[in-house]
Structure 1
Amino acid sequence: MSAFRAALRISRRDAWRSKGRSALVMVLIGLPVLAITALLTGAATTSVNPQEKLPSLLGSADARLITAPSRAPVEQDYSGQSFGPSPGDGTGRQWTVAELGTLIKGRFLRWQNNAVEVRVTDVYDRTEVLEVDLRDPMTRGMRPLVAGRYAAAPGEAAVSRAMLDRGARIGGTIKVTRRDRPVLVVGVIENPNRPGLPELAGLPEGVLSHQNDGDSSGWLVQTPDPVDRAEIRRLNRVGLAVSSRHVTENATRSELARADTPSNLRELTSLGIMVVLAVMETVLLAGPAFAVGLRRRRRELAVLAAQGASGRQLGTIVLADGLVLGGAAALLGAALGIGAGALGEALLARSLDWTHGPVEVPWPPVLGVAALGVVSGLTAAIVPAIQAARQRPAQVLAGRASTDAHKRAGRPVLGFALVLLGLGATYVALRRGQVSVASSALLLVLGLVALMPWLVQASERLAGRLPLPVRLSVRDASRHRVRTASAAAAVMAATMVAVTVGIGVSSSYAKREAKRDAVAPTGTLAISGRGLDDQGWARLRAEVGRRLPAAALTPGQEAMDARGRGLALRPAWDHRSCRERCVPPGYLFMSLPIGDERLLTFLQRRHDPQAAAALAAGKAVAFNPEVVRDGMIELDARDQDAGATKPAKVFKVPAVVSSGAEPTQTGALIPASAVRAAGLDVAERAVYTTGIPADLDSLDRLGRDLRAVSGIAFLDTVEGPDDGLLNTLLVLLGAALVVVLGGTFAATGLAAADMRQDLDTLSAVGGPSRTRRLVVAAQAGYIALLGALVGLAGGAVSGLALSYPLTREFYGTLEGIVGAPGPVTISIPWLFLAGVVLGLPLLAALLAGLVTRTRPVLARRVA
């Protein structure tokens, strides 16, 4: 122990002397610890359990009764925050306080909540409403008062801070519901569990009408005795759900176990894979940094060996470096991660309307992550420790650089075995999902890491055919395989992850684009009022014209039954007639448009005389031949309600096939005369335009404004390909750039230090300064290119495998009978792969060459 303590003191003093290298190692180890700890802390704080919800739901009350329109028995969990009615009938009578007093003793306070349209400036927003007398002591803690006062009269309300962001002010007036009823803002409140929720709080029935519907109304109760489980069951039988403070705070282990969502094995596996990759990448990147430290301390260690220190003691000193730096980085990263997670969650909870609870640190996972940081530091120091134990003091004191033994080239047998195992596991994982593919890719990564020293040695055979600067670099890299292999493996792992995800994302994006089913061309905005009467549609149509004054509006129609209910027209589909593709394509779920020649011209973006003549003759115009059979389209007319299972009418319409404005257009345009001939009525209930607002906020605002006029206004947009794929690939490229440059420069800096005598000799015999620069640039390019090429090979295999679960479809009948798997879409992002595999190594070589010192430093050589 005394020797170990001495090693720790030496390591601590050396870390303080070499502040730059120590900071680099601590950043490499501490950043993953900080990031994972912040995520764990933020997730734990965001996850609010029933006990933490009690103040916002009950205040200081003993229980919360939740009523329902039917008095059928209910089933609930222990907290009463999740419940549902049992099968059975009940009366629809509203509960009264007198009636409740016969069931449970105590003082009652009415509450109810819902959502309404609120107009603060000139925009309607959907806003939550809580109605309860917050002045009552029973509500203490439900909505703490931030400023002003609570509502004291029906025309008053206190608002949340999110409402202030929308323009509400104390003393000002906001308008609620579509009748623009004025409500005076008298205070500012805060929801303890939803600080970003737009909400207003008033007295019961001050904004809302009396409601008796499910979990949106009830009573807070202050009882002389705690409400126990037996009393909850008794109240459940009469149709009341109950949240009891006593039961929630004293939940049994079995109740908590039933309430907790079981951990998803897929999520745990994914987390484990990410942790292993993070630790491995940290070790591979920190390894060269420890090797740099060993290079600078080699003479100090040689002096210790000359004075009697054993090789084991020298290795202990280097391992102590890993323990000191890894431990400090892990502790600092964990502490900063906890603070960053808590602070970030508090800020985002308000801006993104997340759930929010007390700051919670999941100590077992956090301590486990910190332990992984320490293990990463120790693991990264193992190879330099072995090198320190094996170094020759006489050679080091003479100023000669040591090299790795030529006969040792890693563990190629183990590497080949892991690679073969990974390939086999990848083949099996094709039909088992994304997590299985990721698990098999991890085996492949480990195998390639084990093979890297052998690949470095094998690449030396090519050196004789290369130019002088490259030849010198490759041979030096082969002589120092441990240093080179560590950096190249880090580049390989980063490249493999980037290539795998890049191919998977590109394939998924290509599949999504190929499946885009739309009757209208890209850039279309369709506004419809399904189920409106003529007056309601007239109001909505006028509002559309007011909001989009410069847009050319093309009318569309809707089929209606005899009672005036809107019907959706869809191509009829019979799964019994399918052979291979047994799931209907997307266009079979959309309602086909009904219109005249004006709508046809809009959908085709041109005038087609033949299609227009066919439409005028009562024929449908189909934009793809799949919906037409024997010159007819069979249509299924059913209620717009998504729950409607039986069609109101099935009929056939003669059809012709034409082309839309874009190849991706599907479906058909149905003439109104054909719908009337089938015994149905039609009426204008939609308009089409190309005037899509430029930004999402404007489109969302338009939708809120239209729904304020009519609650059943619908906006459908046909958007073109988005830039999601490009953004994802750029993020992957940026992440790969950081790892590639970091690992390459760490190894190149060590190589330049080890090659300094050779480079000085090269300059002394007349070699130009650019040769010295080219040697260092070639060293960086060789390390980055070797790792990128190996990563490309492994990433291509894993990326193609990942494309299977991301893009393959299993077809089945509507009854759920699964058929044969469908085709797989594979898309290779060639430009992205070229940037990762060729562009990043070239950039690393250029930067290394630019920062290289070309002035020789002559030193005494000892033979």
Structure 2
Amino acid sequence: MRALLRISRRDARRAKGRTALIMVMIGLPVLVITGVFTFAATADVTLREGIVRKLGAADLRVMTTEYDRVAEQYGDIGVPGTEESGRPANAAPTTAAEVAARLQPGSRLIGFDEGSVDVRADRGYDHVSAMEIDLRDPLTRGMRPLIEGRYPAAPDEVVVTPALGRGLGDTIEVTRAERRVRVVGVVEYPFNSEHVEVVGFRGVLMMDKRDGHGTGWLADTPAPPTWADTQRLNEVGLVGLSAASLDREPAMALGTTAVVGIAVAVFMVVMETVLLAGPAFAIGLRRRATELAVIAAQGGSKAQLRAIVLADGLLLGGAAALVAAVVGVAGGLLLVPLLSGSVGPPEVPWWPVLGVMALGLVSGVVAALVPAVLAGRQDTAAVLAGRSGTARGGSGRPVLGLVLLVAGVAATLYASRTHEAWVFAAAALGLLGLVALVPSLVTLTGRLAVRLPLAPRLGVRDAVRHRMRTASAVAAVMAATAGAVTVGIGFNSQYVQAHDSFRSETPIGTLTVSARRADDATWTKIRQAAQERLPGVRLVEGMQPVDANGDLVVLVPDRSFACPSCGPMLYGLLVGDQRLLELVQGRRDPGAATALAEGKAVVFDPSMVRDGRLSVHFASGTSADGKVFKVPAVVAKAADPRMGGVLLPPAAVRAKGFALEERVVYARHQPKDVALLQKDLAVVSADVAVSLEDGFQRDLAIVLLVLMGGALVLVLGGTFVATALAAADLRPDLATIAAVGAPSSTGRLVVAGQAGYIAGLGALVGAVAGAVPGVALAWVMTSKFGDYPMFVSQRMAEPAAGATVAVPWSLVGAIVIGLPLLAALVAGAFARTRALPLTRRLT
């Protein structure tokens, strides 16, 4: 083995360009994956890593819960035993004495509260995190390290994190009571530079904690807390965080679908690497043909020749994996502070990194496998005589490929009723069958070369003559194209379904200002402030229903008769008079106005009306979910065809026993800055909400661009590797063409024709291969919105039956037509067509 590696190392130094190409192809996936693993591990601050910001120097952190008993505790999260284990609303708050009775004798407690607070900004309020604790106490050491200044020593003093943007000596107003406090220090929130927080004494920041129902205590215990100590706290509805509870964190187990998904991803990475690097190893075999022939002439066996080539894969694969892993780990660590505000202790997940390195090593050996077999078959006499001695594989019988392809298609059809991961697994099986069929496809399509002009005909014939070399590149292009088309069809179908199903409560461009829980006096101030900030804008009031106890009633339309699996719509109903009707219709509609005056609902989505009536679900604090009442309804046309809302007349709501309050206004107006208007009005009340109906805002362009970019790199990479290998084989033919007087452009056309053939055949077969799993993926993602909920947050009406399949023709066209043309142009432009010496050939 030492001699084999020494030979491989000498050859690698001799052909530095080829060595670098192979190492990049093998090492790039290793670099990316190890970088992502390291970045994620370092940026993710686990409870154990960030324990100092919760415990400080204390031995135990005790936290109150809403339960009278905690049945299970995981980390710092408590799980109640039953649904009835909630603490009564009027229960007395837990006292420090009661907590001390559950701890070791002699324990010392200090209280703390956590929550949020409103901080007055230039315009409006900023809602930020808050903590109330005496940071001067030794138990808090390390919780919030001091950057500058000092810790608070009086109730009117606070410290802040740098992300708040306030400095020493600044005076800020906190809470809605506008209590003025002075910043006396800037502290660090450990492991997160973007966290915004204000820290002061208890009773200063959080008004809702003044009733005794605080967050918890930090405890200094005589001996390290045990799990038994934590269980004693759980018995009275308390959670205890300590080193003992950290050891009880549940292990995260991967489900079957996750394992399948990881296996498919590994398979695709290895296969694509092998298909791309395989031709590059074949280049080395072509350059070393004479050396191997000399070894064979001196008595070297076929097994020894194969071992020499496999040693290339072992050496280059191992070196590429090692270098890429080092660079990936270093890059991941360096990128964490640049891309993430959360930065934990530097962490390298060694077992995953070693697994990825092993994956790179295996990829190198497997990529050298086919060239190694060809090395054992080469004709020694022909090579020593100056002719190409590479053995050509026979046409063979593509039985195995056909069997795998049929099995893959059948598995894909079945997987369309299960899960996305199984769709990809079935597609990988079919793709493996196509890889086995590619040599036969190359032979079959090569017969069509007789119809081509001279230059591309020569290029295609050379590609067919070296079928194994060409098949590897075509298979790499095919795999990349198939993956892009499959994912493209799936996400494009989900996008089209979401877009077509989008419905809005109000017309696009409608501004809504609401304060659902404000009282009458506060709402009057909010409406007045809104009118002042929107001069000349006509505000149309809407109503909200409340029950007898004053609790807000939520009304949503029902269309379950049209879609049994859909249930209520994801948007609510409007309640208002003729002015609101004119706003949502954008015109005067006498028919709809008359119906509304008669107490009928005006509906803008015909699918919600059945037998002239509308079913309405309602729920409130005193009425159970699922209650339904029906009102007469008419179908009208809204100002916006994408609107699917409902306008209920006030009389119909009052008839069901609900009172009405004006807590919302609408306007056909689009302010320049909705967030700024929200902050302006939030000065009046924290309950105010401002929103602008801007329609369906999801964009698929970024997904398609990523798919196109990945396909571009892989398609051009596979094509250029194949054409680089072909350049060595074409030298005799190009020299002959030049000798008989052909212009230099002919050689460029030969190279361009071969590149276009490889990329075109791979892209075409890949598009067809990706269509079947693409349709299956679309079926899964649109029939249940799959595990990729890109657009579920939009207001949608799920189709009553079937799924949506939409092919992204722009992506498919760019890959199938655009990329082969680009590959041909680039290959022809950079082809070396200088005068070549004629090669002496034996006859």
Q: TM-score, normalised by structure 2?
A: 0.91
Tell me, what secondary structure is at the counterpart of 1:82? strand
For 2:587, which of 591, 594, 606 is the aligned residue? Answer: 606
Higher alpha-carbon deviation: 12-21 or 675-684: 675-684
- 1:749 paired with 2:730, answer no
Cα distance between partner residues in 1 of 2:124 and 2:601: 40
Tell me, what secondary structure is at the counterpart of 1:287? helix
For 1:522, which of 508, 530, 555 is the aligned residue? Answer: 508
Partner of 1:211: 209
Cα distance between partner residues in 1 of 2:537 and 2:465: 72
Offset of 1:188 from its aligned partner? 2.3
Is the 1:406–1:479 contact (alpha carbons within 8 Å) kept by the matching residues of 2? no
Higher alpha-carbon deviation: 419-428 or 265-274: 265-274
Higher alpha-carbon deviation: 107-116 or 460-469: 460-469
Indicate how the Cα distance of structure 1 residues 721 and 102 shifts in structure 2: closer, same or farther if over 3 A, else same. Answer: closer
Is the 2:156–2:181 contact (alpha carbons within 8 Å) kept by the matching residues of 1? yes
- 1:334 paired with 2:325, answer yes
Indicate how the Cα distance of structure 1 residues 772 and 232 shifts in structure 2: closer, same or farther if over 3 A, else same. Answer: closer
**Corresponding letter in the other structure for 2:650:** A
Partner of 1:731: 706
For 1:839, which of 799, 818, 836 is the aligned residue? Answer: 818
1:797-816 equivalent positions in 2, closer than 5 A: 797-809=772-784
**Corresponding letter in the other structure for 2:820:** P
- 1:360 paired with 2:347, answer yes
- 1:66 paired with 2:72, answer no
Q: Which digits, 9 at most, give the CA deviation of each residue in 1:750-805, with x for residues without a partner?
A: 11221111012112212233222211111000000111111011100010010111
Tell me, what secondary structure is at the counterpart of 2:115? strand
Partner of 2:373: 386
Q: Which digits, 9 at most, give the CA deviation of each residue in 1:361-391, with x for residues without a partner?
A: 2222211110010111111111222222222
Indicate how the Cα distance of structure 1 residues 216 and 17 shifts in structure 2: closer, same or farther if over 3 A, else same. Answer: farther
Is the 1:557–1:685 contact (alpha carbons within 8 Å) kept by the matching residues of 2? yes
Q: How many residues align?
A: 826
Partner of 1:815: none
Cα distance between partner residues in 2 of 1:616 and 1:643: 28
Offset of 1:458 from its aligned partner? 1.6
Indicate how the Cα distance of structure 1 residues 545 and 321 shifts in structure 2: closer, same or farther if over 3 A, else same. Answer: farther
Is the 2:564–2:800 contact (alpha carbons within 8 Å) kept by the matching residues of 1? no
**Corresponding letter in the other structure for 1:512:** A
Indicate how the Cα distance of structure 1 residues 403 and 325 shifts in structure 2: closer, same or farther if over 3 A, else same. Answer: closer
Indicate how the Cα distance of structure 1 residues 334 and 627 shifts in structure 2: closer, same or farther if over 3 A, else same. Answer: same
Indicate how the Cα distance of structure 1 residues 572 and 157 shifts in structure 2: closer, same or farther if over 3 A, else same. Answer: same
**Corresponding letter in the other structure for 1:172:** D
- 1:190 paired with 2:168, answer no
1:157-236 equivalent positions in 2, closer than 5 A: 157-163=158-164, 167-209=165-207, 211=209, 217-236=215-234
Indicate how the Cα distance of structure 1 residues 810 and 242 shifts in structure 2: closer, same or farther if over 3 A, else same. Answer: closer
Cα distance between partner residues in 2 of 1:23 and 1:474: 28
Tell me, what secondary structure is at the counterpart of 2:487? helix
Q: Which digits, 9 at most, give the CA deviation of each residue in 1:441-492, with x for residues without a partner?
A: 1101111111111111121221222222222122111111111011111100
**Corresponding letter in the other structure for 1:237:** E
Partner of 2:469: 483
Cα distance between partner residues in 1 of 2:533 and 2:624: 33
Partner of 2:418: 432
**Corresponding letter in the other structure for 2:91:** G
Offset of 1:202 from its aligned partner? 1.8
Cα distance between partner residues in 1 of 2:137 and 2:731: 81
For 1:343, which of 324, 334, 337 is the aligned residue? Answer: 334
Partner of 1:92: 91
Partner of 2:625: 645
Is the 1:73–1:239 contact (alpha carbons within 8 Å) kept by the matching residues of 2? yes
For 2:436, which of 433, 444, 450 is the aligned residue? Answer: 450
Alignment gaps of 5+ in structure 2:
787-797
Offset of 1:634 from its aligned partner? 4.3
For 1:631, which of 612, 615, 631 is the aligned residue? Answer: 612
RMSD (Å) for aligned C-alpha atoms: 2.9
**Corresponding letter in the other structure for 2:501:** K
Indicate how the Cα distance of structure 1 residues 634 and 421 shifts in structure 2: closer, same or farther if over 3 A, else same. Answer: closer
1:106-505 equivalent positions in 2, closer than 5 A: 106-163=107-164, 167-209=165-207, 211=209, 217-245=215-243, 247-248=244-245, 251=247, 255-256=248-249, 259-350=250-341, 354=342, 356-405=343-392, 407-409=394-396, 412-505=398-491
Offset of 1:508 from its aligned partner? 0.5
Is the 1:810–1:821 contact (alpha carbons within 8 Å) kept by the matching residues of 2? no
**Corresponding letter in the other structure for 1:582:** P
Offset of 1:298 from its aligned partner? 2.5
Partner of 1:762: 737
Offset of 1:341 from its aligned partner? 2.4
Partner of 1:590: 571
Indicate how the Cα distance of structure 1 residues 475 and 597 shifts in structure 2: closer, same or farther if over 3 A, else same. Answer: same
**Identity between Structure 1 and Structure 2 (%):** 47
Cα distance between partner residues in 2 of 1:693 and 1:458: 64
Is the 1:627–1:667 contact (alpha carbons within 8 Å) kept by the matching residues of 2? no
Cα distance between partner residues in 2 of 1:124 and 1:134: 26
Cα distance between partner residues in 1 of 2:293 and 2:306: 12
Partner of 2:748: 773
Cα distance between partner residues in 1 of 2:506 and 2:622: 22
Higher alpha-carbon deviation: 368-377 or 31-40: 31-40
Q: Which digits, 9 at most, give the CA deviation of each residue in 1:215-243, with x for residues without a partner?
A: 96111111112222333333333343222
Offset of 1:171 from its aligned partner? 2.3
Q: Which digits, 9 at most, give the CA deviation of each residue in 1:786-832, with x for residues without a partner?
A: 11111011100010010111011499xxxxxxx99931111111121
Cα distance between partner residues in 1 of 2:101 and 2:656: 60
Higher alpha-carbon deviation: 329-338 or 115-124: 115-124
Higher alpha-carbon deviation: 464-473 or 624-633: 624-633
Indicate how the Cα distance of structure 1 residues 683 and 317 shifts in structure 2: closer, same or farther if over 3 A, else same. Answer: same
Tell me, what secondary structure is at the counterpart of 1:64? strand
Is the 1:68–1:213 contact (alpha carbons within 8 Å) kept by the matching residues of 2? no
**Corresponding letter in the other structure for 2:153:** A
Q: Which digits, 9 at most, give the CA deviation of each residue in 1:395-414, with x for residues without a partner?
A: 233332345425245x6221
Is the 2:506–2:645 contact (alpha carbons within 8 Å) kept by the matching residues of 1? no
Cα distance between partner residues in 1 of 2:189 and 2:390: 65
Cα distance between partner residues in 2 of 1:490 and 1:619: 63
Partner of 2:792: none
Is the 1:69–1:94 contact (alpha carbons within 8 Å) kept by the matching residues of 2? no
Tell me, what secondary structure is at the counterpart of 1:724? coil
Tell me, what secondary structure is at the counterpart of 2:51? helix
Q: TM-score, normalised by structure 1?
A: 0.89
Partner of 1:814: none
Is the 2:556–2:618 contact (alpha carbons within 8 Å) kept by the matching residues of 1? yes
Cα distance between partner residues in 1 of 2:717 and 2:649: 65
Tell me, what secondary structure is at the counterpart of 1:147? strand
Cα distance between partner residues in 1 of 2:127 and 2:624: 28
Higher alpha-carbon deviation: 133-142 or 37-46: 37-46
Indicate how the Cα distance of structure 1 residues 663 and 846 shifts in structure 2: closer, same or farther if over 3 A, else same. Answer: same
Cα distance between partner residues in 1 of 2:370 and 2:290: 18
Tell me, what secondary structure is at the counterpart of 1:520? coil
Cα distance between partner residues in 1 of 2:148 and 2:339: 22
